Amino acid sequence: MAEWKDVGNLVAGAAPVLAGILGGPAGAVVGAAGALAASFLGVEPEPDRVVRALGNPENLLRLKELESAEKERLLAWQEKQLEAERDFERELGRRHEADMASDSWLSKNVRPLCLLIVTVAIVAASLDTKIAVDKLEALTGLGWGIYGYYFLGRSAFDKGAVRLHMGAK
């Protein structure tokens, strides 16, 4: 089953602004851009239908025309996506600061505790031969997300190695 990101990958060469929106974080803007592209191609606003329609190379040219005609609207949508991402990052930073400023031991240690619990669960599930492979894969996928956030994302932000420079400086 295709997703809007798949459509974005297919149209990247012909319509890069549209592709950027479709490949962005899921939400109303992605759905609107997908519906616009589907409508322009005369298909249902579903990623699978649009992918099928893009099997015809002429439709890629049509999407390039769509991007030219609707560039202003597409750029406004892209700006909305970026603003939503900035808001999310600001809120995440505020939550971290509030947790660290709290007098509560739990608030300061909930993330390390989650890391510990997931690690113990992965090790225990790996040793249990009765656990279904798909469940173990789901658990390890969750673990990778938590490890990536905790060790890479948080450390880089806390140490100042990563700075977001979006919009005006």
Q: Could you report the per-residue pLDDT of 70-127, keeping only the tens digit for each?
A: 888 888 888 888 888 888 888 878 887 887 788 888 877 887 888 899 999 999 988 9
High-pLDDT (> 90) share of the chain, %: 12
The verdict on 51 and 106 lying in the same domain is no
Say whether both 21 and 74 belong to one domain: yes
Residue 88 lies in a domain: no
| Domain range for 107 | 102-158
- The reported pLDDT for the residue numbered 166 is 43
Q: Which of 46, 81, 116 is the last residue of a domain?
A: 81
Do 77 and 110 belong together in one domain?
no
Same domain for 77 and 8? yes
- Asked whether residue 168 is assigned to any structural domain, the reply reads no
Domain check: are 46 and 10 in the same one? yes
pLDDT at 154 over 80: no
Mean pLDDT taken over the chain: 82
Q: 81, 116, 145 — which closes off a domain?
A: 81
Same domain for 8 and 77? yes
26 confidence band (pLDDT: 50, 70, 90)? low
DSSP characters over 106-169: HHHHHHHHHHHHHHHHHHHHHH-TTS-HHHHHHHHHHHHHHHIIIIIIHHHHHTTS-----S--
* Domain final residue pick, 50, 81, 112: 81
Domain shared by 111 and 64, yes or no: no
Kindly state whether residue 112 falls inside one of the protein's structural domains: yes
Predicted structure pTM score = 0.54
Is 63's pLDDT higher than 70?
A: yes
Helix axes 4-11, 28-41, angle to 10 degrees: 60
Residue 166 one-letter amino acid: M
| 94-102 long-range Cβ contacts below 8 angstroms, 24+ apart | 96/154
Q: How confident is the model at residue 52 (pLDDT cuts 50, 70, 90)?
A: very high
Instruction: Give me the percent of the chain exceeding a pLDDT of 70.
Output: 88
Q: What is the pLDDT of residue 148?
A: 81
* Same-domain pairing of 23 and 67: yes
Does residue 169 register a pLDDT over 50? no
Q: How many domains does the chain have?
A: 2
pLDDT over 50 at 24, yes or no: yes
pLDDT confidence of residue 34 = 87
The token duo for 25 is: 């974080």
Q: Is the dihedral of CA 125, 129, 133, 134 positive or negative?
A: negative
Q: What's the average model confidence in pLDDT over 22-46?
A: 83
